[in-house]
Each structure stands twice: as C-alpha cells, then as structure tokens.
Amino acid sequence: MQEISLERLDAANWYEACQLRVGDDQTEVFPISNVHWIGISRYEEGTTLYAIKRGDEIVGLIGGGLDEDGVSGFINPLMIDRRYQRQGIASAAMRRMMELLIRSERVPRIRLGHRKENRAAGRLYDSLGFRVKSETEGEVIRSYPVDHGVEIRSLRDEPSRLRECQELLLGHFRDPELVKHQTEPCLQADGPLPQGYFLLKNDAVIGWVGLFAAEKVVESGLSPWISPLLIAPQERGNRYGKLLLQHARREASRFGYEQVYLTTDHIGYYEKYGFHEIGVTTFTWGRPTKLYEHDALRDE
C-alpha cells in the first residue's frame, strides 16, 4: 500500500474532498456529508480537517483538535471513500492523526465517539487502544490514554529528589534562599499545601511546578497559586509546561479548589492553555504583575 498522509484542508483540495462518499449501506451510521464537516470547521473553533491521501490521491477525510475541556484531544470525523475501504487506510490515517495531536498539543488523552451500530468503527478504535468510557442509548464514547515518556511526581512523596529539584530551580533563579523557600516547605507542611511536583524524563528532573496556598502579592483572598513553572532549557518546546499546568490544576481540584491563580509577565503563553487575565496585582516588594485564573481540572 502507498504511504498514507494527511494534508490540511484548504482552497486547493476541499472540493475534491466533497466528492467522497461512503457506501449506500453506510449512510445510517455515517449520515453527515463532508460539506457539513467543512462548514463546522469554518465556523466552530477547535476542529481542523485534513484530507487523507494515498500517494497523491485524496481517499478520505479526518478531523481533530482540542476538546471542550481545552486539555484532551478529539478526533472527528473519520471517513474513507467507499472505493478505498477495507484496505487499512482508516487505521493508518487514525495513527497519523493521533501522532499529530500528541506531538503538537501534548494531550493526555484523545477522545472520540461512534454510533453503537457502527461495529466496524468499534473494532477499529478498539484495535488502536481506544477504550470505552461511557455509553448512551445510541453512542459509544472512547478514550485513548497518551504516554509521553515522562512522569510527574510529588516531592512530598519522594523527598530524596529535593537536591535535583533545587538544582533545576537554581539554574534559573540563581538565588539559593528563594529556591529553598520554593521547595522545602513542601516537605514540612501538615496540610495539603504547599506542594511541589517535578517532571522526570529518563530518570532526570527536567521540570517543576509549585502549588501554594498564598503568593507574595498584596492581599487578594485568592488561593491556590501556581508558582513557579519551570522547564529545563534543553527540554523547552516540547509542551511539557502544559503537562505540569494540567497536573497542578488537577491536584487543586483534588484538594477541593474550584480555581487556580498565577502571576506572570509573559504575554501569550498561559493564554494558550486556557488561563485568562483577571486583573493586575502588586508583589509585596512593589512590582506590579498580571493576574491569571483558570478552572481547577477534574479528572476523568
């Protein structure tokens, strides 16, 4: 079989994609035309469509993006033209789309759904590792857990990693007293906060995020605070920061909080991950800073 690739739908290929059709016996389980999906991708955020190509020939359509939670990935739709079915194209296209979401968005899971009566789709998704999470009268919802080859662990659970975490933070802040303040209270607290979480890759600490009850700003009454977030310079660009932010939000939910907060002077970084600016505050030493908020993240 020729190489299967994905090509983003655009002005040069959309019309050809609209000519694709499923078999007459499949219209009940796949009743929506490609024209409909193109309309959705144009006027609803989150869905990006790709032409499925075998060599130079367009043989199907697939779409995906970030789910409504802003964290998980999703795939929808997946259609293969009736002339090219049962040739392994759907499986290959799904793998390409999964790789794209994992590489570009660092999603922790990928979701999709299919009609109960679409048993062929069920068998395909099961073979790719998508497990059933829930069912309604007519639809099956599946989820694929993503392994990024890294682990997030709690410093409180593994105090032997304290020095490695401090060395990572010292490389950025250059202030031993500040680094002690950011790490050692995580080992001494009686309550759930503060917490420090480190990112492991090949048994090396490459990232850190803290979750504190209070930040050094003028009285705000807000809690908890994500501070600081740091990725080793050689590991930046891999969206590991997104994984740590998600973990901090999930832990905040586990501790009973509904929102999380942070301060930053960066423009555009945290917005990518759903944080929104709610005002300006001032550090206790007088410097102003922007204040951001996001919902705590409930686990599946």
- Indicate the SS3 state at residue 151: strand
How big, in percent rounded to 5, are the helix, strand and coil portions of the chain? 30, 35, 35
Q: What are phi and psi of 40, to 5 degrees?
A: -60, -45
Six-digit token string for 108: 């922790």
Q: What's the rounded Cα separation, in Å, for the pair 256 and 202?
A: 32
pLDDT at 44: 73
Decide: residue 297, CB within 10 A, 0-12 exposed, 13-18 middle, 19+ buried.
buried
Neighbours of 43 (CB within 10 A): 8
Residue type, 99: E
Q: List the Cα angle 59/63/68 in 5-degree steps.
A: 170
pLDDT at 1: 58
**pTM for this structure?**
0.76
Residues 6+ apart with CB under 8 A from 291: 217, 220, 261, 262, 263, 277, 278, 279, 280, 281
Q: What are phi and psi of 26, to 5 degrees?
A: -110, 0
**Pair 258, 298: CB distance under 8 Å:** no
Q: What's the rounded Cα separation, in Å, for the pair 252 and 211?
A: 8
pLDDT at 10: 95
pLDDT at 300: 62
pLDDT at 25: 83
pLDDT at 26: 86
pLDDT at 68: 85
Q: What is the mean pLDDT of each run of 10 residues along the chain (300 residues)?
A: 90 95 84 87 84 96 91 94 95 97 92 94 96 94 94 97 98 96 95 97 97 90 96 95 96 97 93 93 92 89
Number of residues that make up the chain: 300
pLDDT at 201: 96
